[in-house]
Amino acid sequence: MNLSEKLKEMLVFDWAHIDAPLFSSLLIMLVLVILGVIVGIKAKLAIKKEGYKHAPRGILFWADAYYDYVTKFAVQNMGRKHMIWGGFFFTLFAYLFIAFNASLFGIPSLIDWLWAPLSLAIITFVLIHAVAIKYQHWSYFKRYIDPIPIFLPVNLITMWSPIISTTMRMFGNCLAGTVLITLIQWATSNLSASIFSSFGVSLQITGIPANWNSFFNSFPYWTGTLLSPIPMGVLNLYFSLFSGFIQTTVFASLTALWIAQEMPPEEDNVYVPFERVPTDLLVPQGEITK
């Protein structure tokens, strides 16, 4: 294989063997793009019709409420001067929350695929250091030799901690939920099979095509539908909706705080030391009473 063929193999994407989680990620991005286009078109039409004079309705109401939420989130965690970062968190919240709930819509889960949280952590890492270089310039590199130059290897290692911590946090929580749900499904399917077997009901379904035999007559058996739906539904709602919202908020909050640490503080929050008033400016107490 010559060099041109190797480059072609590296650059040409093989859609026939795409990973299921990667397909989920592309699908989520496509859904967000479509929603963004729809909201943009409806907002433009509303402006032309002077709809901004009235309270928004329908999808514009939810888009406006969501925008207010992420803007307040950016202001509370980064300061009013950095309200523009609300656009970044607008996309991050939407993508990450839908990614946590992808399995509820019948598409492969995304966050328990290691490359997804790792990619988000790398994006956060790049943003942190890009913002630090933008505001601190050459003094940015001083952190790596503090307090003395001999600490350079240690500081270089700790520099990568945001990538490791955020990746393992999201991946570990999502994987733990997947493992727990799988164990519950295994337990309830076996319990259901034991109940049916005690009544002499066969677990094998006869008279089905050969290519469907392994699907219906292998674990988990069809009897799992007796006990599995209720606990599986509750656990899916918890690990997808509730836990997904918590993990999304935690990841976004850490990202906002890490980026805000590299920015100069707002003037309202700068500490001004107390200075004693000169004595020649003080008015005697007797003159005040007069």
Distance between CA atoms of 63 and 69, rounded to whole angstroms? 10
- Who has greater pLDDT, 7 or 259? 259
Chain centre to alpha carbon of residue 197:
45
- Who has greater pLDDT, 7 or 248? 248
For the chain, give every domain's residue range: 20-264
Query: Would you state the structure tokens that stand for residue 201, as one six-digit string?
Result: 């009901």
Backbone angles phi, psi at 41, to 5 degrees: -65, -45
64-94, pLDDT tens digit by residue?
A: 889 889 988 988 888 888 888 888 899 999 9
**How many CA atoms does the CB half-sphere of 99 hold within 13 Å?**
27
For residue 34, pLDDT beyond 90: yes
C-alpha distances in angstroms, 281 versus 134, 216, 275, 278?
Answer: 43, 92, 13, 6
pTM exceeds 0.75, yes or no? no
Distance between CA atoms of 93 and 240, rounded to whole angstroms? 14
For residue 156, pLDDT beyond 50: yes
175-206, pLDDT tens digit by residue?
A: 887 788 778 877 777 777 777 777 766 666 56
C-alpha distances in angstroms, 77 versus 13, 148, 235, 252, 262?
Answer: 39, 31, 31, 10, 13
Contact 169, 250 (CB under 8 A): yes
Mean residue pLDDT across the chain: 77
Confidence (pLDDT) at 212: 58
Contact 167, 114 (CB under 8 A): yes
Upstream peptide bond of 220 is cis (omega within 30 degrees of 0): yes
Confidence (pLDDT) at 38: 92
Contact 116, 25 (CB under 8 A): yes
